[in-house]
Amino acid sequence: MNETIVVSQLGARMHYAVPRILAREGQLGHFFTDICGTKSWPSLLRKLPPAMLPKAVRRLTGRIPSGVPAELITDFPLFGLRSGIRRLRVENDIEEISHAVWAGSHFSTLVAGCGFHDAAGLYAYSGDALEQMQAAKRQGMWTAVEQMVAPRAVLERILAEEMGRFPDWAGPPKRNPFADTLAERERAEWRIADCIVCPSEFVRDHVVAEGGPAERCVVVPYGVDAEARFGAAGRTPGPFRVLTVGEVGLRKGSPYVLQAAERLGAAARIRMVGPDRLPPSLRRRLGRSVELKGIVPRQQIAAEYHWADAFLLPSLCEGSATVVYEALAAGLPVITTYSTGSVVRDGVEGLIVRERDPQAIVEAIRHLADNEDTRARMSENARRTARENTVEKYGRRLLDVLTHLHARHGVVS
């Protein structure tokens, strides 16, 4: 057994930050993923003119883990293609969780069957990790699982409450038969894991509340290299502009954004960027008070941050939302909630408001709109905090945790 670490990951989460960080440090034993643009048929398709490929295929072939040697990557392209097709057919939350259970367990079983290249540890992601963690433990490895968002059981309770409050947004409350399966997978992973990596105190608190071992939970805030893309933009005159980015729906607190916008009227312009599954009648109501921008390509998203005077994300359940890190890098004061799991401090980089409180959102927006000096101070603090939360500094925090895992299990560097 050597001192390297195996990473397994579905998709291109955080632009492959964890395998890239470990590869840079010479600690990556192997990387498993579903589809990779530098391997098998996706690499062949990349040689074709992009205009010849459907948009969904272009996204898949664009998954490039820069800095990770191709010989350290194993992908499962047929599984990835099948999973991608299944995901395109998802039409509601029940189907989405059904797919997550299928994809996570299937992917984990594929990884477990490949072996772990004599590595000392395994780093995997919640819901996608159980079978491979079991296999790694049988080989005497340590295991770490990243709990990317609050536990599924917590999210299901929150969504059920919100469906009761806002049936026009997602229909009446309904039991998701696959949610219990996913929640139990998470609990089983916690029982096995030597370390549960949480991106925020919000996630850690709820893992512990759901029975996870507090002594094995560590908080490692994310990092985003966003200053070069989102920083240094001047504000233009006009009404106070507030931006929110993310899927428009119950989990993001979108009904409360609408209520706040209706109360503010012409006092502020609120723009929502992101996909939605809303019925046409609700979308029309939103459109009367909020500018619905829909999906904006990543290469164009910086212009949205530059448009805004403040950023708003009153989520009810997150891990640690990447869009907040981007907003900080853009120098935007951030109005958010504890449940967003952000690094924002109340009165420093922005304002923390109560969950499910549209009037608190109204008052926060008015406070920022009416106090230019406060906005300027928070803007500078936001940029400073963004510089403390880059991918490099995230990597240092994560490597500290993984080094301790090595030491606890007798792995000598």
Measured distance CA(310)–CA(290) in Å, rounded: 15
- Please report which helix (H) or strand (E) contains residue 61, including its range: helix 55-61
Whether residue 95 is predicted with pLDDT greater than 80 in this model: the reply is: yes
Whether residue 346 is predicted with pLDDT greater than 60 in this model: the reply is: yes
Measured distance CA(381)–CA(194) in Å, rounded: 36
- Cα 76 → chain centroid: 23
Whether residue 231 is predicted with pLDDT greater than 70 in this model: the reply is: no
* DSSP-based three-state secondary structure for 293: strand
Listed in order, strand segments (DSSP E) in 314-387 are 334-336, 350-352
Whether residue 400 is predicted with pLDDT greater than 80 in this model: the reply is: yes
- As a whole number, mean pLDDT of residues 355-384 equals 97
Can you read off the two tokens belonging to residue 248? Answer: 């428009």
Q: Which residue has the tokens 């925020």?
A: 200
* Residue 62 confidence (pLDDT): 66
Whether residue 204 is predicted with pLDDT greater than 90 in this model: the reply is: yes
Measured distance CA(6)–CA(30) in Å, rounded: 5
* Residue 7 confidence (pLDDT): 98
* Residue 358 confidence (pLDDT): 98
- Please report which helix (H) or strand (E) contains residue 146, including its range: strand 142-146
Q: Architecture of 5-223+391-408 per CATH?
A: 3-Layer(aba) Sandwich (3.40)
User: Higher pLDDT residue, 156 or 230?
Assistant: 156
- As a whole number, mean pLDDT of residues 215-243 equals 82
- As a whole number, mean pLDDT of residues 104-114 equals 98
Burial class (CB in 10 A: 0-12, 13-18, 19+), 228: exposed
- As a whole number, mean pLDDT of residues 244-266 equals 96
Q: 81 falls in which pLDDT band (50, 70, 90)? A: confident
* Residue 412 confidence (pLDDT): 60
User: Higher pLDDT residue, 166 or 409?
Assistant: 166
Let me know if the fold of 5-223+391-408 is the same as that of 227-387. yes
- As a whole number, mean pLDDT of residues 368-374 equals 96
Q: 218 falls in which pLDDT band (50, 70, 90)? A: very high
CATH number of 227-387: 3.40.50.2000
- Strand order through the sheet with 5-9: 73-75, 28-33, 5-9, 121-125, 142-146, 195-198, 217-219
* Residue 330 confidence (pLDDT): 93
Percentage of the chain beyond pLDDT 90 is 77
Whether residue 41 is predicted with pLDDT greater than 70 in this model: the reply is: no
Whether residue 384 is predicted with pLDDT greater than 90 in this model: the reply is: yes
* Residue 385 confidence (pLDDT): 96
Whether residue 409 is predicted with pLDDT greater than 60 in this model: the reply is: yes
Q: Do residues 355 and 254 lie in contact, with contact meaning Cβ atoms separated by under 8 Å?
A: no
* Residue 16 confidence (pLDDT): 93
* Residue 166 confidence (pLDDT): 94
> For 147-189, what is each residue's pLDDT tens digit?
999 999 999 999 999 999 999 998 777 788 899 999 999 999 9
Q: 364 falls in which pLDDT band (50, 70, 90)? A: very high
Most confident residue range from 20-29, 87-96, 293-302: 20-29
- As a whole number, mean pLDDT of residues 50-72 equals 75
Measured distance CA(242)–CA(314) in Å, rounded: 12
Measured distance CA(126)–CA(172) in Å, rounded: 28
Boundaries of every domain in the chain: 5-223+391-408, 227-387
* DSSP-based three-state secondary structure for 243: strand
- Cα 413 → chain centroid: 32
> For 289-341, what is each residue's pLDDT tens digit?
999 999 998 788 999 999 999 999 999 999 999 999 999 999 999 999 999 99
Whether residue 53 is predicted with pLDDT greater than 60 in this model: the reply is: no
